[in-house]
Amino acid sequence: MDQRTIVCLSCPKGCRVTVKANGDDIKDISGHECPQGIEYAKNEYLNPTRILPTTVRVKNGQIALVPVKTAAPIPKGKIGEAMQKLAEVEVEAPIKLGQVIVENIVETGVDVVATRSIKAKN
């Protein structure tokens, strides 16, 4: 049986929740002080996801980089690959907040969007 301790982020208390499982089959969850801990630990164990905030190079913009994020959380394991991909991207200013910078980043079904509007250089 696998066993992993997950820090629950549902509230600032940060309970250490222990998950015991056979593969994807969760057998036991313990250590949580409220029901939110179960849900959190389950998701975090089976399919941990994160929003990826980073930057992308800008051509002809008032600043050199535009901040971006994945519009929804993507699997944790895909983040390295996504960073690699985004390192090769360059977008032309002007850029509007919310503008899609990369569609379906590394086949996650999630778009990468700009989180700041950037004017073109003059």
Distances (CA, A) of 90 to 2, 19, 59, 72, 101: 43, 42, 7, 21, 9
- Burial label for 89, CB within 10 Å (0-12, 13-18, 19+), is middle
Member of 47, 84, 92, 121 binding other proteins (CB under 8 A):
84
* Site membership for other proteins, residue 42 (CB under 8 A): no
* Site membership for other proteins, residue 79 (CB under 8 A): yes
Residues that bind other proteins (CB under 8 A): 3-7, 9, 12-14, 16, 18, 33, 44, 48, 50-51, 53-55, 57, 63-65, 67, 69, 76-77, 79-80, 83-84, 86-88, 97, 115-117
